[in-house]
Amino acid sequence: MRGTKTVLWGIVALVLVALAVPWFLWGDARVVAGLPLWLWWHVGWMVLTAGVFAVFARTAWGVGVETDPVEVAP
């Protein structure tokens, strides 16, 4: 089960990183509420990423984050 969680959270992390740069909006001059659309993408993406991290911190902290104290050299 731990290996499956690691793989799934790894995939989620890769998707978040891959879509962090809105390459599909390059050259798009649309403006929404006075700001470029690509900037709104970044704002929304940061909110989504913060939400995903909150879920990760509540449910899966330790999967690929913490180390076993025995493994750490003094």
Q: Do the domain assignments include residue 64?
A: no
Q: Do the domain assignments include residue 72?
A: no
Q: Do the domain assignments include residue 15?
A: yes
Q: Do the domain assignments include residue 43?
A: yes
Whole-prediction pTM value?
0.71
Q: Do the domain assignments include residue 36?
A: yes
Looking at the structure of the chain, the number of domains it has is 1
Q: At 70, is the pLDDT very low, low, confident or very high (cuts 50, 70, 90)?
A: low
- The CA distance from 12 to 18, in Å, is 10
Q: Do the domain assignments include residue 30?
A: yes
pLDDT tens-digit readout, 11-67: 999 999 998 888 888 888 899 999 999 999 999 999 999 999 999 888 877 766 665
20 in Cβ contact with 45 (< 8 Å):
yes
Q: Do the domain assignments include residue 31?
A: yes
**Domain, as residue range, for 16:** 2-59
